[in-house]
Structure 1
Amino acid sequence: MSKDFSAGSKGLYLSSEGDAMDSIANSGGAILYAPADYDHQLLDLSNRRLGAILQKFVNYSTRVAFVLPPDLAVSQSCQDLIREHQSHPFIRFMASQADALSWLQTKQ
């Protein structure tokens, strides 16, 4: 049986640093955020919330995969951030839940 990485199945929603700490405490070291499991305003980098949240996951060595909504329009700076994290050891932004699960499972 494979491990359940889903934030939604754990009742977790990501919108703040406090939410990140709850996720870290309840994730077992890795978590997957489907599009319904996080505030898409986090991807508006002008509010600076995402950087602080991502730093929490890195500081606590928690692997996190975000599944991006297919119709999401983001700024160039957010596109750059997503691209920069393509090989990050703890943080990934994925186009599909299957890709996110595959990455999380291979890094156990």
Structure 2
Amino acid sequence: MNIQVIQHTSVPIARVTSNSILIFDVDSALDLMASVHYQSGVRRLILDSSAIDERFFDLKTRLAGDILQKFVTYQTKLAIIGDFSVYTSKSLRDFIRESNRGSDIFFVGSEEEAIARLSF
């Protein structure tokens, strides 16, 4: 795992990259939040969707809701970068749309969009 801190309009954002899956359950999400905060002091993360277990995107597993609730509870904002058009589930599309209307969790297509969303 590599953590790069991006300063954008005085708001530090951690860009987390990895060649392996970092989030595969609630505990791994908590570990990621703790590691990033400990190493960088940052509570705003950008993560590629490829670093998240594919089960996350199947809402029937309840993994997405459980994990994202932890991010909100621990006041850590998250932007997930990926091509979400590959998912055909109407429920997932609705979930993504509702998340993007909020202020804590974002599903975006680019790092630039992630930075813009997390800068407020």
TM interval, shorter chain, is 0.7 to 0.9
User: Quick one: distance in 2 between partners of 1:69 and 1:30?
Assistant: 21
TM-score normalised by structure 1 residue count = 0.83
Identity %: 28
TM-score normalised by structure 2 residue count = 0.76
Q: What is the deviation of 1:36?
A: 2.4
Aligned counterpart, 1:5: 14
Aligned counterpart, 1:57: 71
Question: Which consecutive unaligned segments of at least 5 residues does structure 2 have?
Answer: 1-5, 37-41
CA spacing shift, 1:70–1:90, aligned 2, 3 Å: closer
Q: What is the deviation of 1:69?
A: 2.5
Output the amino acid matched with 1:44: D
User: SS state of the match for residue 86, structure 1?
Assistant: helix
Higher strand proportion: 2
State the superposition RMSD in angstroms. 2.1
User: Quick one: distance in 2 between partners of 1:13 and 1:47?
Assistant: 18
Is this contact kept in 1: 2:21–2:53, CA < 8 A? Answer: no
